[in-house]
Structure 1
Amino acid sequence: MTTSSRRRPAYLVIADSLRCKIETQQLKPGERFPTERELVQEYNVARMTVRHALDILQIEGLIDRKRGRTGGTFVRAVPPTLNLTSHEGILLQLRDRGFLTRVEVVALHKAEVLSHMAATFGVEEGTLVWELKGVHYVDDAPISVSKYTIPVQLVPDLDERDLHQPLLETLESCGLKMAHKRDRIVAATARAEEQKLLGVGRSHPLLRFSRVIKQSDGAVMAISEETLRSDIANVEVIVGEDPSPGQVPHLD
C-alpha cells in the first residue's frame, strides 16, 4: 500500500479501486459484482470495510444491490468519462475504450468564411471554407453534434475523403496534425436542429464546446463547435502526469 493510500481510510481506497474498474470496463454494465467475501479476500480487510466501500458506489449510482434468490450486486450502466485535455477527440477516446462509434454526415458544403472567423484563421473575408456538420454515435446512440469550419485551401478535396471516421484522423491523413486546441465550454439547452439530431427535448442538459485547433506552426486549421449530451458522457480535466497510472492499491 502506498504512503498516500495509508493516509486515507481503507474503504475510500477500495471504493476508488472498484470505481476505476467500472470506468475502464474491467467490470462491465450488467455483470455481477464480486461478492463481499471475494472483496474481503482481495483487499485483506474486514467485511464492514468492504460494505462501506459498496455503500459509496451505490450512492454514486455505480452499482445496484438486489435481494432474494436472484439477488446480488450488479454494475449499473454509467456514462463514460472523457478527458478534455486529451489531443484525441470524443470518438477516438470512446473507440479506444471498446465502444462502437460512427459518424453520420449531415451536411458538407463550401461557403465564405464569417468575418469573425476570418480574423481567427488569419485570412481575408470572402475566403472559402468547408462547413461540415455531423452526428456522432456511440453504440448506435447519438451522443453529439459537431460543426467544423476548415479553410478549403488546406484540404481542397475534403468532399472526396472518408468523413465517416473522426475528423482529426481524416485531417491528419491530409498532413494536418493538431498541436494545440483551446476550448470554451458552456452549459446549454438543445437548439431545434439538435433536438432532432440527438433525439432530446428542448430542456435536455447539454455541454457546448467552442474549439480552435492549431497546427505546430501556430496556424489555425479548424474551428469547431460540438454539442454533447451530458447524460451519455461525463467530462474531466487532467493536469500533469499521474505518478502511479493504473495502479490498483493493495491494503495490508
Structure 2
Amino acid sequence: MTSEVTDETAVDAARRRMLELIASGSLEPGQRLGSERELASDLGVSRSTLRQALGVLEQSGVVRRVPGRGGGTFVSRAKIERDLSSVVGVPALLRAQGFTAGSRVISASIMGADDATAAALELEPGGLVTEIVRIRLADGSPVSLEHARLPASRFPGLLELPLGGSVYELLDEHYGVRPAEALERIEAVSAGPDEASVLDITTGAPLLSITRTAKDADGVPFEFSHDLFRADRTRILVRTPGAAGTADSARARGRLVDLQAWSAP
C-alpha cells in the first residue's frame, strides 16, 4: 500500500482550484460537494491533500462542514457587507448588494420599556414602546434576528402599517423621521437554542451582536434595537480616514473585517 504524502504546494494548488470553481460558478453557494473520493479524483489529488485544502477553506469561511447523515461539505453562501459608516435599513443594504430581501415578522406589540430601552430612548422608566421582532432573509435564507423598539407616542399607528419591509422607510414616509446618526456596539456571541432555531444554524454557532441607538437630525433618539447576524454570512466594512483625509482600504475606501466562525467554549 502506497502512503499518501502531502505538501504545502499540493494543498495550495487544490485550494486555488476549488476557489476557481466557485468563482466561475461551477460550484454555487449552498451547493453540496461530492464525496471526498469523487472530489479528489476530479482535482487530481490525494484524499489527504483534499482534506487539508478543505480544512483551509473552512477556516476562511469559503466552505462549511455539516456533520451527520444529512451533512457534508457545502459551498458557503455569499457574505453580506455591513458598512458601519452609514445608517441604512437591512432591506436597502441587501438590495444594494444584489440580494433579494425578505422578512418574517415574529411579533409586534406595545410594551413598557425596560431600564436599558428607556435610557437609550430618553423615556421615563416604563414608558410605552413599540417592539417589532423580525427575521431578515437574504435570497430566502435567514441572516439576522432583529428586535427593534421605538417610542410608541412618537409613532402612533405604526403597528397598523406593513412591517415586512423597511421600518426606516415607513418612518420617513408616514412620520417624516430619518436616521441621521447611530451609535452601534458590536460583539461576538454564541447562538442559544432559540436563536439557532430561527436562524437555521447550530446551537453555539457564532453570531454578530449589534446594539444600535439611532437618532434623527435633531439628535433625538427614536430607535433602540438589538440585531443578531449570522457570522458565517456577515462581513464588516470599516472606513478609516487616512492622513490626507482619504480612506485607506481593502476596497479603496474601507477596511474589510471578516468575522470568522469559531466554536463556542
Q: TM-score, normalised by structure 2?
A: 0.62
Partner of 2:230: 229
Q: Is the 8 A contact 1:29 1:77 kept in 2?
A: no
Aligned to 2:192: 191
- The answer on 1:131 being equivalent to 2:122 is no
SS in 1 for 2:95: helix
Shift of 1:115: 2.2
| Matches for 1:8-27 after TM superposition, within 5 Å | none
Q: SS of the residue aligned with 1:153?
A: coil
Provide closer, same or farther for how the CA distance between residues 130 and 61 of structure 1 changes in structure 2, counting only shifts above 3 A. Answer: closer
Q: Secondary structure at the residue paired with 1:194?
A: helix
Counterpart secondary structure, 2:185: strand
Structure 1 residue 228: deviation in Å?
Answer: 0.2
For 2:98, the aligned partner's letter is: G
Deviation at 1:29, TM superposition (A): 4.4
Q: How many pairs are equivalent?
A: 186
Determine the structure 1 residue equivalent to 2:183. Answer: 182
- Tell me which residue corresponds to 2:169: 169
Which consecutive residues of structure 2, in runs of 5 or more, have no partner in the other structure? 1-19, 29-55, 64-74, 253-265
Q: CA deviation at 1:77?
A: 5.1
Q: 1:79 to 1:214 in 2, by over 3 A?
A: same
Flag the 1:126–1:203 CA change in 2: closer, same or farther, 3 A: closer
> 2:83 maps to which residue?
83
Moved more, 75-84 or 140-149: 75-84
**Native 8 Å contact 1:82 1:90 kept in 2:** no
Partner in structure 2 of residue 66 of structure 1: none
Distance 1:61 1:213 in 2: 31
- Give the alignment of 1:155-166 within 5 angstroms: 155-166=155-166
Deviations 1:177-213 (A, max 9, x none): 1011011111011123211210112111111001111
Alignment partner of 2:232: what SS? Answer: coil
For the 8 Å contact 1:103–1:136, the answer to whether it is kept is yes
Structure 1 alignment gaps of length 5 or more? 1-21, 33-57, 64-74, 248-252
> Matches of 1:28 and 1:235 in 2, distance apart?
25
What are the within-5 Å matches in structure 2 for residues 39-188 of structure 1? Answer: 78-173=78-173, 174-188=175-189
Structure 1 residue 82: Cα displacement: 2.2
Cross-structure match for 1:204: 205
State whether residues 30 and 77 of structure 1, in contact with CA within 8 Å, keep that contact through their aligned partners in structure 2. no
Deviation at 1:153, TM superposition (A): 1.0
Q: Looking at both structures, which has the greater relative contact order when contacts are Cα pairs under 8 Å and sequence separation is at least 6?
A: 1
Structure 1 length-normalised TM: 0.65
**SS of match in other structure, 2:177:** coil
Residue aligning to 1:239: 240
Is the 1:187–1:205 Cα contact (8 Å) retained in structure 2? yes
Letter in 2 for 1:136: R
Residues 196 and 171 of structure 1: is their aligned pair in 2 closer, same or farther, counting only changes over 3 Å? same
Identity %: 25
Q: What SS is found at the alignment partner of 2:233?
A: coil
Gap change, CA 1:112 and 1:98, over 3 Å in 2: same
SS of the residue corresponding to residue 106 of structure 1 reads strand
Q: Separation in 2 of the partners of 1:245 and 1:235?
A: 12
Q: How far 1:88 sits from its partner (Å)? A: 1.5
